[in-house]
Structure 1
Amino acid sequence: MNREELTEIIVLAKQAKSLTWEAIADDLGVGKVWLTSACLGMNSMPEAPADKLCALLELPPEAKATLMSYPTKTWGWDVPQDPLIYRLYEIVGVYGDTLKEVIQEQFGDGIMSAIDFSMDVDKEENPKGDRVVITMNGKFLPYKSW
């Protein structure tokens, strides 16, 4: 079973059981963004949450091995067409250089890790329209001279 096949099975099982990513994450004791990413094939899952997910969603036996395998993290190079994903792409396009300047001014020459990293998505109610709050928290890794 490959990751694409498993992702489809997981999404269908989640829908059939009327579950949310947050409810599944709470049941497994993990973060909802990380869980969703792992279920969509972009992260490997340790054995304990893989066992729990397989039981909760009644996944086929071979699903556990696929969940635990190390993914190759690739994505399309085309400009995304989905409006929500495109807006995130646009934010990085418009503010990427700004974020780089501000981060490097505060921390020095380096990057924010996407390995030692967490992210969360929250909803902020607002009379002018609800707000999406995305919090990214990554370890700063300075470039080394040698």
Structure 2
Amino acid sequence: MNKVEMHHLIMAAKARKGFSWDDLSAAVGKAPVWLASVCYGMNSAPQEVAAHLCEVLELDAEVATAMTAYPVKGWDQAIPQDPLIYRLYEVVGVYGPTLKDVIQEKFGDGIMSAIDFSMHVEKIEDPKGDRVLLTLNGKFLPYRSW
């Protein structure tokens, strides 16, 4: 089973059972964004997490095996059409150079890790319209000289 087939089976089971990512996160003890990334095939899960999630979703061991396989992390280079994903690209396009400059001013010449990394999504209620709070938390990795 490949990651695409795995994803479709997981999403169908999630919908059939009426679970949210928060529900599944609580069931397996992992953050919702990380768990969703595993289910989308962009990360691999430890065997015990994959087995537990498959138990919760009533999926067979073949799905768990696919979840433990190392992914190929790539994405389509085309501009995304989904409005939410497009807006995230827009944020990086508009603010990317600014964030790079501010981060390097505070930390020095380097990058933010996407490996030693966590991400969280929160809903902030606001009378003018609810707000999305994204927290990106990555280790700073300085460039080294030799």
TM-score, length-scaled by structure 1: 0.99
Partner of 2:36: 36
Partner of 1:145: 145
Q: Which runs of 4+ in 1 moved over 2 A?
A: none
Structure 2, unaligned runs of 5 or more: none
Write the distance in 1 (CA, Å) between the matches of 2:64 and 2:6: 10
Write the distance in 1 (CA, Å) between the matches of 2:12 and 2:138: 32
**How many residue pairs align between the two structures?**
146
Write the distance in 2 (CA, Å) between the matches of 1:125 and 1:33: 20
SS at match of 1:10: helix
Aligned counterparts, 1:1-146, within 5 A: 1-146=1-146
Shift of 1:64: 1.4
Structure 1, unaligned runs of 5 or more: none
| Cα offsets for 1:28-71 (capped at 9, x unmatched) | 00000000000000000001111111101111221111100110
Q: Percent identity?
A: 58
Query: How big is the alpha-carbon RMSD for the aligned residues of Structure 1 and Structure 2?
Result: 0.5
TM-score, length-scaled by structure 2: 0.99
Given that residues 51 and 61 in structure 2 are in contact (C-alpha distance below 8 angstroms), is that contact kept between their aligned partners in structure 1? no
